[in-house]
Structure 1
């Protein structure tokens, strides 16, 4: 997209000289944002259907978020975890009530939550001679070392090994392969119930049944990576609640912070005794400001936002499925639940991302090559969905077969 604003062009050029070039950035320099709308420094308005990659659950500059930031920042921003903090305790109480889990550890991010979950799982298994962990192809658990050890993404791992021992990555939704890899040495299985980076592929119900059966036989822990699917994104508080399973450990991040860095490990009570003082920790995790905004998010979800997401998700998916029927040469299928949807294309999704950004000022994201990922703020309305589907169809028709 061609930029006329010299300030924007200058900033884009400066970025190239300052940072490691690891991001495929859109050619947009942000000035401000409200609700699901973003303005660049030229005054151009964009419609955000990416939501900070599923982070901005309440959109941008939500008045209750801003109020919480104002009140907490007037008190203090950070103290160490050597002290008790009401902001942390109030957030954790609400999270415990809404999740049904007993013990919580607060971190800064999703990958930190997953690292902690791996440590907790392996320590639980240590005296049982359970040292192995299993995750699945297409999964994404973060960019740090332990998380990457449970992933099969060559781009993220090339020439950075060796990786942690005892980590297996087996084919997602393949019951037979899973059964061949589980043993008495298995400490835990980590999975996403909808794979955000893996093309919005959903776990098959029979696959979850098999995990339950194997858990009963071999006594391992199930870790639900709810970093992207959690906090109401799929129309339920957790993505796993679409299935008959109760994980032992849940990891969360992204949407629960209201735009500030916040992650969490949630666990059942029997795991409380696994960690003792000093076994795990964090400097910034559970930052008071992030907990204050996180509490706002949880209260809004509790007030009925999850039900709205469920209804909007049904409407959105019906409209996308109807579009697929009209354009079967462009769209293969629609995946996902709630406001976490994927449009599986017959061509590279990056072409469609570019077309929608340039022609219609709609921000989306390509994942897994040919999948358009849709994870807007949870506060969008039905008219926003109608607008999106209309412009999606125009964009698809404008692209060559």
Structure 2
């Protein structure tokens, strides 16, 4: 059989097209939209978290990306303003982004209805609606971590352990910023007080948390056995000064996860001794992925920010968040190949099983019904030099938490 020159050229062109098409598709990046507050309320954490996201993605791309697909992180400031968050969402959506992260409760809440309508992915680790762990209702929203409801319940479980299984007659104080972030755990605490028989005392702190004198004077008068604190950043430092002024031992203090090494330094490493915090990530640099990032990026001048941030637990928090996102992408590629779509990404996230990023965080299992991953945390204590775990990774009172979640989510209407 004889071929004309035109036929041969056409055949060669077809072969070449078939050869390079998969490669061309693979080179289209999977884009992650990081719409963060980089200028106002959350700047105590967002630089470290966004740096961790960029470092982890850079390390992943050095290894060939996800199924041959490179990852791209697009960072934009929303200033913790809902309207600017929506503008960030719409802009990045036009650029092909379908995975979004806000690290802001007001922005996440504002963005959520659009994400649900568009069937894109909204990551809201440690922020946003607590009931969004209910995947049956919030099918495109992934908290990927403990709610504040679950975290405070785990703190109570720890205190029950301290009191050998019996909290009856124990007095627990709750010091909190008097706005939604601080108020959110209160209904759970009130319910657990009835269940476990402890006395709950509430101590609101006005925003921004600089004036706490009245609250701690009342704490001194009431003399609770333990103090659970829902404060942020510099407010912990103010609290430590008020505790010292009122003669309240630091070992009574259990913080929400938003307390980092900068806060410890500002309190004073020795003065902070005995202080505790709830957390869903391991602190410090003795974690394989951080050691690999140091070796492959920072030792070679490829890091995305100051190396000192790698010693901050908020950097570890960012690594944990984006490790879960990338694990979801791996599962999506495993199940459906590439390119990854919003639908396959959702399925990938819902197939994360017992994943702890090699010791970086509490094991996470995400399902179609539980988008939070199980809600495990642990309590750590500062011993003057480092954080020492006081519990295993635990998820306590889960039936009670899910009753609250389902009641709240049933009232959502998009």
Whether the TM-score (by the shorter chain) exceeds 0.5 is: no
**Higher relative contact order, chain-length normalized (CA < 8 Å, sep 6+):** 1
Normalized per residue, the structure richer in strand is 1
TM-score band w.r.t. shorter chain: 0.3 to 0.5
Alignment TM-score, normalising by the size of structure 1: 0.33
Alignment TM-score, normalising by the size of structure 2: 0.32
